[in-house]
């Protein structure tokens, strides 16, 4: 199979490595913005050739869109304008509502499969690509009923070969749940980093004392704005909804601390503990 | 050296294992609340004998207070009432202001060293004790100028043998910095867990989708209320101060998302990214 990957950063680059490592692609064509990143991606072996978007889509059996989510809907339309059976187009973006709405009435809608592998790290760009990504993590496929049977089957087989369990959802449902489980965690982490950078003027102390749990809550704050601004704005209404609840929970804890309310605080923490029945 | 550890949970139990593994203690006496936990601690080899508080303090060369922080100030006074040179008493608590204030005028103040190893996990109780704790993490010693020289030296040598770099601070300074770097992370994590448990009624989805960064920000939410309610209340004013700033940062992000302020949001995330110059 010849695969074209538009965007050879953390996600696209790691998919490229996974496909090569498992012998799932004969040739990988790639696209990157800017000469420097393109050269870097080639040098890192993330693509065999750098091509234009049009060349890539036309030549490849499978086109993968792995650019920031605000660029995906238009690229999806442009790709669908050019593909014919049995070619398939997928995206790997973290939001699906707008994308699925934009391509809904496209004559070639059936050739598109909306895919979200629940894997990532806080790093970005071609150098962030790693071997062994995706395996063991769930991959969400959205609106499977709108895909041509053969296109869906190709993608299901491909992701099964990457050892990622598949689950199925509507696009709206996907955006709701990822707001709860992924997007809010990033906001919290960004805000926590800024809180500490604002209050703690002496870097040395953060560095020395950070054993106390700080790294784990703030790790995601290294994530890039190029990736995350589009995600937070595309999933605006769900994100705002969860963010309001999160601020409310923090205000509840604040009031309990102010009033020395041992019992209330204990109950809140005990309730939070029950997250361990889900996350081990 | 004969060591008495009051509280054989995560911290006290892990210290016991570290002392034994490195041959730093000939005998470890232990105290635990309740027969069950005491039996468990014995069975896990966290102590050679279970004794009463009075017996332990009198018999041991070194008494270690490793119980929840609200119980430490009174125990510190009771221990100091009973010790004589060259016996030493230390605590391993996460807050120091109240403790240091309570023992300030004690005739035996010099025999006490206030110690905080910046190490922990989200688990608690004797079964949470692990081998290899503390090594490589900073240990803070507070108010070293109030310790007898020989007592301070004993403790410095002991923690150096555990391979933990030592830093020195005042008690107020310690409580301020740990609020920024440790306590706020726990609050955030508790609040995030409750947010998601409140909003996401279907556990299955949290479980399937949690690859997206959720585990790392919510890991600390498993921490026990027995440990954390006393810490948050003892460090109330510093914690409230950082918590107010954190809520403010979240509100800023919320307003930017509401207004589709790409630029502002990008700047906030870029600023948060600079945390990586400190945390690698």
Task: Encode chain B (280 residues) as per-residue pLDDT tens digits.
Answer: 999 999 999 999 999 999 999 999 999 999 999 899 999 999 999 999 999 999 999 999 999 999 999 999 999 999 999 999 999 999 999 999 999 999 999 999 999 999 999 999 999 999 999 999 999 999 999 999 999 999 999 999 999 999 999 999 999 999 999 998 899 999 999 999 999 988 777 777 777 887 667 888 899 999 999 999 999 999 999 999 999 999 999 999 999 999 999 999 999 999 999 988 877 6
| Partner residue opposite A190 with nearest CB, options B167, B222, B272 | B272
Q: Rounded CA gap, B121 and B24, in Å?
A: 23
- E strand or H helix that includes residue A101: helix A97-103
Whole-number mean pLDDT of chain A? 95
Task: Check whether A171 has a pLDDT greater than 90.
Answer: yes
Cβ–Cβ of B212/A240 closer than 8 Å?
no
ipTM of the complex: 0.91
Write the pLDDT tens digit of every residue in A223-251. Answer: 999 999 999 999 999 999 999 999 999 99
**Is the separation of the CB atoms in A192 and A162 below 8 Å?**
no
**Sheet with A2-6, edge to edge strand ranges:** A49-50, A27-31, A2-6, A62-65, A88-91, A112-117, A139-142, A166-169
So what's the pLDDT on residue B214? Answer: 85
So what's the pLDDT on residue B160? Answer: 97
So what's the pLDDT on residue B280? Answer: 67
- E strand or H helix that includes residue A257: helix A236-258
So what's the pLDDT on residue B279? Answer: 76
Mean pLDDT calculated for residue range A101-120: 97
| Partner residue opposite A210 with nearest CB, options B181, B219, B257 | B181
Cβ–Cβ of A253/B239 closer than 8 Å?
no
DSSP letter for each residue of B144-197: GGGS-HHHHHHHHHHHHHTT--EEEE-HHHHHHHHIIIIIHHHHHHHHHHHHHH
Write the pLDDT tens digit of every residue in B204-214. Answer: 777 788 766 78
Q: Rounded CA gap, A240 and A193, in Å?
A: 20
Q: CA triplet B85, B8, B49: central angle to 5 degrees?
A: 70
Distance between B152 CA and the closest CA of chain A, angstroms: 21
Query: Which residues from A are below 8 Å from B254, CB to CB?
Result: 240, 243-244, 247
Domains and CATH numbers, chain B: 2-170 (3.40.50.720), 174-277 (1.10.3660.10)
Q: Rounded CA gap, B68 and A218, in Å?
A: 26
CB contacts < 8 Å between A and B, how many?
320
Per-residue DSSP letter, A5 = E
Distance between A241 CA and the closest CA of chain B, angstroms: 9
Q: Rounded CA gap, B64 and B62, in Å?
A: 6
Query: Which residues from B are below 8 Å from A180, CB to CB?
Result: 195-196, 199-200, 205-206
Contacts of B104 (CB under 8 A, 6+ apart): B146
So what's the pLDDT on residue A259? Answer: 97
Cβ–Cβ of B210/A118 closer than 8 Å?
yes
| Partner residue opposite A212 with nearest CB, options B120, B167, B260 | B120
Query: Which residues from A are below 8 Å from B190, CB to CB?
Result: 253, 268-269, 272
| Partner residue opposite A254 with nearest CB, options B183, B216, B243 | B243
Pairing of strands B88-91, A139-142: unpaired
Per-window interface: A 34-93 vs B, CB < 8 A: none
**Is the separation of the CB atoms in A116 and A138 below 8 Å?**
no
Number of CB atoms found within 10 A of residue A29's CB: 22
């Amino acid at each position: 199979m010849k695969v074209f990957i538009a965007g050879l950063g953390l996600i696209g680059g790691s998919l490229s490595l996974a496909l090569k490592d498992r012998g799932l692609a004969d040739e990988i064509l790639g696209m990157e913005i800017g000469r420097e990143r393109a050269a870097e991606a080639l040098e890192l072996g993330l693509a065999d050739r750098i091509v234009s978007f049009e060349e890539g889509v036309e030549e490849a059996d499978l086109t993968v869109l792995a650019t920031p989510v605000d660029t995906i809907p238009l690229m999806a339309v442009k790709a669908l304008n050019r593909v014919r059976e049995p070619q398939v187009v997928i995206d790997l973006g973290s939001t699906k509502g707008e994308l699925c709405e934009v391509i809904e009435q496209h004559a070639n809608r059936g050739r598109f499969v909306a895919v979200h592998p629940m894997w990532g790290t806080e790093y970005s760009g071609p150098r962030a690509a790693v071997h062994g990504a995706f395996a063991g993590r769930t991959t969400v496929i959205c609106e499977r009923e709108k895909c041509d049977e053969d296109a869906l089957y190709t993608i299901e087989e491909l992701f099964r070969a990457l050892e990622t369990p598949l689950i199925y959802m509507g696009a709206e449902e996907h955006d709701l749940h990822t707001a709860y489980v992924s997007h809010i965690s990033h906001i919290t982490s960004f805000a926590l980093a800024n809180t500490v950078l604002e209050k703690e003027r002496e870097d040395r102390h953060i560095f020395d004392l950070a054993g106390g749990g700080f790294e784990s809550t703030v790790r995601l704050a290294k994530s890039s704005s190029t990736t995350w601004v589009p995600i937070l704005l595309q999933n605006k209404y769900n994100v705002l909804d969860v963010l309001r609840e999160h601020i409310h929970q923090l205000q509840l804890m604040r009031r309990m601390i102010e009033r020395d309310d041992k019992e209330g605080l204990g109950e809140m923490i005990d309730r939070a503990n029950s997250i361990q029945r889900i996350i081990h």
